[in-house]
Structure 1
């Protein structure tokens, strides 16, 4: 499964430098380099965590964010020469989710 262990999410086509938005209200758990990629991770209500990479953070760990708030800008690196956002979601330590199931019609990840 695309959202299972290994890949742990979906890839969304974007352009390098494009703003990336928070999928929902939450608190930034991590904003920095992880496995040599710029990454942002947000804890949401109900114990759901979303992760965005390769995203140069515009937020810091411990910061509250609102749905639709810019959390950083997309860099290249995940989809080779093409720019894309890798978006993952999980609940608890090992329960990876299909992040597309979290999207309601009004949630915007891209601008």
Structure 2
């Protein structure tokens, strides 16, 4: 996501969704990194619900192993570092209204702590209460802009682009 938008200026055929400009416009790639070492395998992609209250997948699942270190995808302030409904959760507030979430993670940071991009924030927990979410141990990595879920892969310049239908233009008198 360096400089120019990957969707191109004035391209009505591509819409990454509301809030994506906050990610695309203010988050050059060097500021963001994978939350797991290397280039982890994405085992389940972002699949937002049609309506906020419907089911969907509000993040991406990355293949992991129990005990593996989890790192902050970007610099920020830890909002949550606790157990929530039988699993460890870390949530970090970043600039421009962005927030990343990581679970199931045994936190090694505390609420209110500032973290740097790439800093270890916890370790992957064994499935436990998270069993059934992934076919194997995984890290669920989420991205929220204000109250909208976005594809966290946008931070790395790899997010999904939704294509809009091609609408014919109407001529004069129509």
Same fold (TM over 0.5): yes
State TM-score, norm by structure 2: 0.56
CA contact (8 A) 1:76 1:82 kept: no
CA contact (8 A) 2:89 2:105 kept: yes
Which of 46, 69, 75 is equivalent to 1:19? 69
1:103 — aligned with what? 156
CA contact (8 A) 1:28 1:43 kept: yes
Could you tell me how far apart the structure 2 residues matched to 1:104 and 1:16 are? 27
Any stretches of 5+ residues in structure 2 without a counterpart? 1-44, 50-55, 159-174
Q: Which structure's residues are more often helix, by fraction?
A: 2
**Residue 97 to residue 86, structure 1, CA distance change in 2 (3 Å):** same
Could you tell me how far apart the structure 1 residues matched to 2:89 and 2:99 are? 13
Could you tell me how far apart the structure 1 residues matched to 2:150 and 2:134 are? 24
CA contact (8 A) 1:76 1:84 kept: no
**Residue 50 to residue 39, structure 1, CA distance change in 2 (3 Å):** same
Q: Would you identify which runs of 4 or more consecutive aligned residues in structure 1 move more than 3 Å?
A: 78-81
Could you tell me how far apart the structure 1 residues matched to 2:94 and 2:156 are? 13
Count of residue pairs brought into register by the alignment: 104
1:63 — aligned with what? 113
Q: CA RMSD in A?
A: 1.9
Any stretches of 5+ residues in structure 1 without a counterpart? 106-111
State TM-score, norm by structure 1: 0.85
